[in-house]
Amino acid sequence: MSILLYVISYFSLLVFIVACAVRALSYARAPIHLRWELYPVPHEAPHRVGHGGSYYEEPEWWTKSSPRNLLGELKSMGAEILFLKALWEFNRKLWYRSFPFHFGLYILIFAVFLILLCGLISFISPGFMQGSLAAGLQFVFRAAGGGGLALSIWGALGLLQLRLTDSRMKIYTTPGDIFNLLFFIAAFGTLSAGFLLGTGPSTGILAFTRGLLSFDTSFETTGLLAAGLVLTGLLVAYIPLTHMSHFIAKYFTYHNIRWDDAANRRGGRIEVKLAECLAYRPTWSAAHIGADGKKTWADIAASSPARGPKK
Amino acid sequence: MRKDIHLKDLSRKQKEPLLHLEKKDLMPLPYPLEDPDDGPPFAELKEQIREKYECGLDDTCAVSIPKPATKEEEDALVAKFLSGLEKLFTKENNWTFLQPLLLSMEHCAKCQTCSEACHIYEASGKNELYRPTFRSELMRRLYFKHVKKGGLLSAWQHGDIEINWPLVARLIELSYRCNLCRRCAQTCPIGADNGLVAHELRKIFSQEMGIAAKELHDSGSMLQLQVGSSTGMNAVVVKDNIEFIDEDMEEKTGMKVQTPWDVEGAEVLLIHNAGEILAWPENPGAFAVILNAAGIKWTLSSEVAGYDSINYGVWYDDAQFARVAVKHAEAAKKLGVKKIVLGECGHAHKALTVIADRVLTGDLNIPRESSMTLLRDIVMSGRLKLDPGRNDFPVTLHDPCNMVRLMGIVEPQREVIRKICPRFREMTPHGVDNYCCGGGSGFAIMSGNNFPDWRFQVAGRKKLEQILHAFGDCMDPSIPKYLCAPCSNCKGQLRDLLAYYEMWDKHKILYGGLVELIVNAMEDAKPGFIEWEWH
Ligand code: SF4
Ligand code: SF4
């Protein structure tokens, strides 16, 4: 039983890491695209960022350096990642559900790191777990784990209720969307039950963590906690296979698109990338494009459109 | 009106359109248009048009695609659409937007946060068909099914859709029910972009199927690349017209006005939207007055496309877009100018300055600047003697999406207006949060069938509401009011919108550009440059 739990945990983690990496790489390896930024861009100069201005407001902007306003960017990222600012501003009804859901997840991730830390320390110094610091850590873990689970379940229930009842969302909701939320509720619900009804609320998890780190086959737990751990493991593996991996997507949509205002300078890094793209050979069929599979984008841009039959 | 349109309805084989809007369904307007019946009726599409063209979406028909005669023809068009869809997701064919498109396809959370931001959705009375995610969701389902070759599991996760000719025909029209203003994208917590999806759909239709709105393609980018301008003016005609404008400006201002042509090594190559030269000659005329008075060494170019900044490709076709951008840069390179300055045209600003930034390399990468910045510098430097008292009438400012939300040029035009217009008032909201005028993405020049009715009653409705609010305290016709729109396309839309609702005749709301306000305030010019006549 314990071995099965460990295998599922490591397997889930591995799937999660590999699937996230594959997804991130697939976006990162896409060629440079045409600029498509959207203002306000928070790394703009502080005197412009308030009204959403860009360096194009400067006369002869190309003669001036425009240092990146890192603080502005961090502030904007922090507000979006931690507090879901866009939802707060534009969709308050959803924010009341989505925020607890996401914030619960953040707290849970924190709790997982904490328990891993406790597990590691207890190997290095077996007496540590008897000390008052350990008791404090365990208290924080219990509060974070319990609070995180409760918040996420509450949020997921709210999201489910909205998906099933809000006419704006109903027609776009697929069975997969419902399943995703039910999966969260089932996994976290079972985990919470195992957590609360188990022999000792945190020793069970700590013992599991220690066992996980050492492949200790003597670890035993309740069926409920085991079921919670298995379901949560599978959920972790499942997330990056779906659109719920938007935490990866958001990095690219914000940094590589909305906020990508990097100007192309002669002989610069962007120009090198563009040279590669302009050498691609498109195969679009419309006559006016004149693509024959041999001409490059550069050739087409330099040519006149062919007059061909329309429509 | 049916509100319960579902995604699968797009594949329905039926003669009647999916949607019919009544005026009472639309978003209410403030005084003086509170009665839903105010304003002209929505003309019905003629029966011959419905017979001949694919008009199965709603009350109008923007693209006029001839109906296929046989089932085989229909199947061939569907096959072509599918081949275009696949190409759209390859780097060889679509490196230009592949990454943003993939992200928008794979990560929408279907939270509908973006819906409320869309002026078309709101103006339609929140009709499902015009929800920003409606067309994106169709595209997404097609992507997972036909590009990712998803099976049952994918359909369960992402939803299913049946592809047939009615669906493709309706998608063509639906891609022309979006202004590409990207206000929706601004609110999306994920960063997905429904405007981009409409843009990419238009590209499949144009680049693979050879289908585009004729105003954008045949009489737009094609004409520009052949003759030099989508107005049809060649170099000789445009020079004649400018000469005439110079004479007219001299008469109006009492100042010497001469527009320089093809001056090698000039500091500034100014490129106007050539539509200005024909429709609003006082705009290029005012530019000439200001630049000469400020002592700028500037020139116009008579090269092909060098005197017309429009680049309609930016709305529907990457190849046409790149060709025009290259022509603009070549005109500047030939003259060896220090920089290109874009006149009052929003999409030309964004096309040449921002989007073409990743097309123009080497010696074609010539610095490009906005006229807003140059004008702000001239006005604030004190090089012109300006009397704000000459602009003592209510003025409000429209923010062209391309220049503002999509380029971040927000303040320069405001600094100018604040300095010379004592009765300036902002619209709500404004700046990067502005609403599109309803003419964006080419609509301002699209007038086929009854499309203008849709353009004014739906697409332009939110802007009209904003204008009426901005001038709410002075609607009395004894007070002339000026709606400043520093963009040719916006001006075209606003002219037609104001005329449609008789806002000039009944309430004396005039529209115009920024330079006209500057010249109107110039002490060295005869008073009364703005003539308060409808044009
Ligand atoms: S595009 Fe963005 S805001 Fe709109 S439904 Fe999708 S995730 Fe939500
Ligand atoms: S881009 Fe503008 S018009 Fe198009 S869906 Fe978004 S908000 Fe609406």
Percent of chain A residues topping a pLDDT of 90: 75
Nearest protein CA to atom 1 of ligand 1, as residue: B192
For residues B480 and A194, the model is more confident at B480
Ligand 2 geometric centre to CA of B129 (Å)? 13
For residue B397, list its beta bridge partners.
Answer: B484
pLDDT reading at A198 higher than 80? no
> What Å distances lie between residue A182 and A177, A188, B9, B513, CA to CA?
9, 10, 29, 56
pLDDT tens digits, A145-185: 999 999 999 999 999 999 999 988 988 999 999 999 999 99
For residue B298, list its beta bridge partners.
Answer: B268
Contact A40 B412 (CB under 8 A): no
pLDDT reading at A207 higher than 90? no
Ligand 2 geometric centre to CA of B435 (Å)? 10
B99 within ligand 1 shell (Cβ under 6 A)? no
Contact A86 B187 (CB under 8 A): yes
Cα A107 to Cα A200: distance, rounded to the nearest angstrom: 21
The 10 Å CB-count burial string (b at 16+, else e) for B365-385 is bbbbbbbbbbbbbbbeeeebe
Sketch the domain layout of chain B as residue ranges. Answer: 7-208, 217-375, 385-521
Contact A52 B410 (CB under 8 A): yes
For residues A137 and A301, the model is more confident at A301
Phi first, then psi: give them for residue A171, nearest 5 degrees: -75, -15
pLDDT reading at B1 higher than 60? no
Q: Which residue of A has its CA nearest to B406?
A: A38
Cα B278 to Cα B488: distance, rounded to the nearest angstrom: 11
Cα B456 to Cα A301: distance, rounded to the nearest angstrom: 35
* CB neighbourhood size of B17 (10 A): 18
**Mean of pLDDT values over B363-371:** 98
pLDDT band at B301 (very low <50, low <70, confident <90, very high): very high
What's residue A201's pLDDT?
43
pLDDT reading at A219 higher than 90? no
Interface test with B, best of A43, A92, A171 (most B CBs within 10 A): A171
* CB neighbourhood size of A52 (10 A): 22
B483 within ligand 1 shell (Cβ under 6 A)? no
- Closest C-alpha to B72, from B84, B80, B64: B80
Cα A140 to Cα B513: distance, rounded to the nearest angstrom: 63
Lowest mean pLDDT among A304-308, B51-55, B467-471: A304-308
Residues 6+ apart with CB under 8 A from B513: B280, B283, B286, B344, B484, B485, B486, B491
Q: How far is A191 from chain B (nearest CA, A)?
A: 25
**Mean of pLDDT values over B29-51:** 95
Average pLDDT taken over every residue of chain A: 92
pLDDT tens digits, B185-202: 999 999 999 999 999 999
pLDDT tens digits, A20-73: 999 999 999 999 999 999 999 999 999 999 999 999 999 999 999 878 899 999
Cα B63 to Cα B76: distance, rounded to the nearest angstrom: 19
Helix residue ranges, H only, B159-280: 165-174, 183-187, 194-203, 223-227, 235-253, 274-279
pLDDT band at B505 (very low <50, low <70, confident <90, very high): very high
Interface test with A, best of B98, B365, B370, B375 (most A CBs within 10 A): B365
Fold of B217-375: Rossmann fold (3.40.50)
Please tell me the number of the ligand nearest to residue B131's CA: 2
**Mean of pLDDT values over B44-50:** 94
What's residue A69's pLDDT?
92
Number of A:B CB contacts under 8 A?
287
pLDDT band at A199 (very low <50, low <70, confident <90, very high): low
Average pLDDT taken over every residue of chain B: 97
Q: Cis omega (within 30 of 0) on the bond before A40?
A: yes
**Mean of pLDDT values over B236-250:** 98
* CB neighbourhood size of A221 (10 A): 22
pLDDT tens digits, B116-172: 999 999 999 999 999 999 999 999 999 999 999 999 999 999 999 999 999 999 999
CB of B176 within 8 A of CB of B213?
yes
CB of B268 within 8 A of CB of B368?
no
CB of A292 within 8 Å of a chain B CB? The answer is: no
CB contacts of A307 in chain B (<8 Å) are 222
What's residue A311's pLDDT?
39
pLDDT reading at B313 higher than 50? yes
Ligand 2 geometric centre to CA of B422 (Å)? 34
- Closest C-alpha to A202, from A124, A126, A147, A141: A141
C-alpha distance across the termini of chain B, in Å: 37
For residue B482, list its beta bridge partners.
Answer: B395, B510
Cα A162 to Cα A303: distance, rounded to the nearest angstrom: 53
Q: How far is B39 from chain A (nearest CA, A)?
A: 30
CB contacts of B80 in chain A (<8 Å) are 285
Cα A1 to Cα A218: distance, rounded to the nearest angstrom: 10
pLDDT band at B286 (very low <50, low <70, confident <90, very high): very high
CB of B351 within 8 A of CB of B320?
no
- What are the strands, taking DSSP E only, across B107-155? none
The CB-side HSE value for B482 (13 A sphere, CA atoms) comes to 26
Ligand 1 geometric centre to CA of B107 (Å)? 9
Contact A32 B358 (CB under 8 A): yes
Three-state secondary structure string covering chain A? CHHHHHHHHHHHHHHHHHHHHHHHHHHHCCCCCCCCCCCCCCCCCHHHHCCCCCHHHCCCHHHCCCCCCHHHHHHHHHHHHHHCHHHHHHCHHHHHHHHHHHHHHHHHHHHHHHHHHHHHHHHHCHHHHHCHHHHHHHHHHHHHHHHHHHHHHHHHHHHHHHHHHCHHHHCCCCHHHHHHHHHHHHHHHHHHHHHHHCCCCCHHHHHHHHHHHHCCCCCCCCHHHHHHHHHHHHHHHHHHHCHHHHHHHHHHHHHHHHCCCCCCCCCCHHHHHHHHHHCCCCCCCCHHHCCCCCCCHHHHHHCCCCCCCCC
pTM for this prediction: 0.96
What's residue A88's pLDDT?
96
Strand order in the sheet with B368-370: B298-299, B268-271, B339-342, B368-370
